Chains A and B, each alone.
Chain A
Amino acid sequence: MTTTTPPALAGTQSVATPPVTRAGRVRRRLNNPYATAASILIAVLWTVPTFGLFVSSFRPEDEIKTTGWWTAFTNPQFTLDNYQEVLFGRSASSGQLAGYFVNSLVITIPSVLFPLAFAALAAYALAWINFRGRDWIYIGIFALQIVPLQMALVPLLSFFSEGVSLGGVELMPAWNLDDEEKFVQVWFAHTCFALPVAVFLLHNFISQLPKDLMEAARVDGATHPKIFRSIVLPLIVPALAAFGIFQFLWVWNDLLVALIFAGGGSETAPLTVRLAELAGTRANEWQRLTSGAFISIVVPLIVFLSLQRFFVRGLLAGGVKG
């Protein structure tokens, strides 16, 4: 992990800057406004699309459909009807997003917990238990990160729907899951796909714990499970949090895995699936799309804003899933 320069250093730097010549001062004066303008321009470009959608989501339907969102500044008319409609509306064309919101939650929670627990166990074993071939297993898991999950979709789906048979002998029967039971498939898929990155990230962290600590515990007669539970787990809480947030955002925002393993129904499909559907079939119903998009954005945004530091740490540890 890279760290920022200590503030003291930044302070001395400005003091230690050599006496600025007049030309230098002029150049800096010229330079700074451009730099500031450029950075403000980028920031505005990056923020305006979201802001426009946000403003629109509170405007009455007729207004959204006939005038640009910027007219809200001169002619402010705001309402919560869109949110009411898209969340709780009864007609088939309304979003009915409340139910899908629950689906997203039900999908996300176990899909974060399972890989976290399994990966922590595996990372500990790979870092601190001595056994033959552990380097090879670690390299193998690490390498699996590059397998695009597209490579796994077709067979994994048939594994769920048809079971496994080898030469006519049925090794595992089909799961034949219906409706709400399909959540199990999604959890399973997300857990499998998350493991390589999770093991990699947590291994980075766990293997850097002080060796003396581990050895002292071993000499005192602590067994590996005991060390794992009472020493390692409390120490790696920041890493667990970093990966947990990462996985949370990834699962919450996922479309592909959900499309394939959740089935499109209102029993299991998450928000993203429903929104993509609305964007395809009701492309001009902006009052639904704008408010719907914000409902799907709000939870990850809260998580992101409140836990930004952990999230950034997760990114910087080199783990990026795709």
Chain B
Amino acid sequence: MDFADETPKLLMLLYGLAAFAVVVGGLLVLLDVVPNWFARRREAALVAASAGGPAAAAGPRPRRRSVANRPEGALALFFLLPTLALLAIGLVVPAVRTTVLSFMDGGSENWVGLVNYRWMFAQDEIFGILTNTLIWVVLVPLVATTIGLVYAVLVDRARFESVAKALIFMPMAISFVGASIIWKFVYAYRSGEYDQIGLLNQVWVMVGGEPRQWLNDPPLNTLLLIVIMIWIQAGFAMVVLSAAIKAIPGDVVEAARLDGVNPWQMFWQITLPSIRPALIVVVVTVSIATLKVFDIVRTTTNGNFDTGVIANEMYNQAFRFGQTGQGSALAVFLFVLVIPIVIYQVRNLRKQREV
């Protein structure tokens, strides 16, 4: 490592921190000044009101409120300003613009109508990518949630509960890139005459198979990539569901025990219904994360051998092939896929609140 190379970076970090201090500090100072100005104006208003005599004060004044309820729009705006501005520049306007771009050609110059969307469903290759995405979004939430739930139930109140949980939860802290390398190593291949270095091929050879290039044969390779995502997400499912299980009131469990239910009945009739809301949250969250999966596919196969998914293809189209229109159409399609899942969750939450 050459320290001369690192100095400009650290300098940038210093600038960044200075900017942070100036922006946030400045904002707080400004916020101190603004209310004083408001207070002075309020005082002036009060003086004017009392000058109008008691009659005016007693008259109908619909806007009269206590100090705590007075509208403070201008002040709130200062608190909200950075957030609203950044959201507008970074999310709202770009999202609208992407939608517009999806109706234009690759160079964003001419209007092409629905051509990009028709391309999405007409091309065999892209259709395969949509199918892959569907497989991902069905399998990952289902399997990850099931494993997370089973594990949460199994280790509940066990002696080494916290250690056992940390083991499953750990992949959450590992980047998708790191996880992909970990699993690529498990799937590693060497031809039959050599010793295997990949665990999967070693096991496969031990049960009598020929070593295989796992990541090169569709559709098995997509399933093996899905395993990586499940490996990462099961820990999340487990943590949330475990907390939900612990929140089940003790007397409910006790009453069921007194009624003599066996563990199996306990699970289906007490545990599962009690944690339904948490279950829905987990499934929805994992589904959305899965729809947007990008890193795993890019690191392991780069979308080759029929493993592509929407998010990955969107990146390829927009940033590698310069097809902004087609990339934008894929992004919009991704958004459209997310909406029903979210609506489902919101409705469920509302139902819960009514009960």
Measured CB to CB, the residues of A under 8 A from B are 2-5, 9-10, 13, 16-18, 27, 31, 35-36, 38-39, 42-43, 46-50, 52-53, 56, 64-70, 87-88, 96, 98-99, 102-103, 105-106, 109-110, 113-114, 117-119, 121-122, 124-126, 129-132, 134, 137, 141, 144, 146-156, 159, 179-181, 183-184, 187-189, 191-193, 195-196, 199, 215, 218-219, 223-226, 228-229, 249, 252-256, 259-260, 266-268, 272, 275-276, 279-280, 283, 286, 289-290, 292-293, 296-297, 300-301, 303-305, 308, 312, 315-316, 318, 320, 322
Q: Complex: how many Å from CA A2 to CA B239?
A: 11
Our pick among A126, A154, A180, A316 for the contact of B324 (Cβ within 8 Å) is: A154
Of A5, A189, A249, most B-chain CB atoms within 10 Å: A5
25 A-B interface contacts by CB (under 8 A):
A13-B253, A49-B182, A66-B195, A68-B195, A106-B9, A118-B86, A121-B79, A121-B83, A141-B87, A144-B87, A147-B335, A148-B331, A149-B292, A150-B292, A154-B94, A154-B318, A156-B94, A195-B87, A228-B79, A260-B319, A283-B184, A286-B188, A316-B239, A320-B236, A322-B289
Question: Chain A contacts of B98 at CB under 8 A?
Answer: 151-155
B247 near A3 (CB under 8 angstroms)?
A: yes
Our pick among A17, A87, A300 for the contact of B173 (Cβ within 8 Å) is: A300
Q: Complex: how many Å from CA A121 to CA B182?
A: 40
A53 near B175 (CB under 8 angstroms)?
A: no
Measured CB to CB, the residues of B under 8 A from A are 1, 5-6, 8-13, 16-17, 19-20, 23-24, 27-28, 31-32, 35-36, 39, 67-73, 75-77, 79-80, 82-84, 86-87, 89-95, 97-99, 101, 147, 150-151, 154-155, 157-158, 164, 166-178, 180-186, 188, 194-199, 202, 231, 234-236, 239-240, 243-244, 246-247, 250, 253-254, 257-258, 260, 262-263, 281, 285, 288-289, 291-292, 294-295, 298-300, 302, 311, 314-315, 318-319, 324, 327-328, 330-332, 334-335, 338-339, 342
A189 near B174 (CB under 8 angstroms)?
A: no
B90 near A152 (CB under 8 angstroms)?
A: yes
B90 near A188 (CB under 8 angstroms)?
A: yes
A132 near B71 (CB under 8 angstroms)?
A: yes
Q: Complex: how many Å from CA A292 to CA B79?
A: 42
A68 near B199 (CB under 8 angstroms)?
A: yes
Q: Complex: how many Å from CA A220 to CA B120?
A: 63
Q: Complex: how many Å from CA A69 to CA B201?
A: 13
